[in-house]
Amino acid sequence: MILTATGRGFPGLGAQPPLPKWGTMIATGRRYVIDSWWLVTFSGLGVLCISLAFNFLGDGPREAINADGATEPYAQELIAASLEYERAV
């Protein structure tokens, strides 16, 4: 969701200024990247940190609930098939 909003705001398809959105901040700061590099850098780092935080926040409970390591419904079948293959070889 954050990356979608940022991606839409960058070319000007999202919220319009003066609303503070990361995509519009990065697009505006692109003109000044040589003189004021921090305008783009800190906005980009904000997007990166928040996206990683939400990914880790979602992965933690998923891994806690599914402690055997299977992340997809068919992963158990793949694990069983690979174990059978290893036994046969």
Task: Please write the tens of the pLDDT for every residue from 20-70.
Answer: 677 777 777 778 878 888 877 887 888 889 889 988 888 877 777 766 655
**Is this structure's pTM higher than 0.95?**
no
* Amino acid at position 76, single letter: Q
Task: Please answer whether residues 34 and 9 qualify as being in contact, where contact means their C-beta atoms are separated by less than 8 angstroms.
Answer: no
Q: What share of the chain is helix, strand, coil (3-state, %, to 5)?
A: 70, 0, 30
Question: Residue 39 in contact with residue 48, Cβ under 8 Å?
Answer: no
Distance CA 27, CA 40 (A): 8
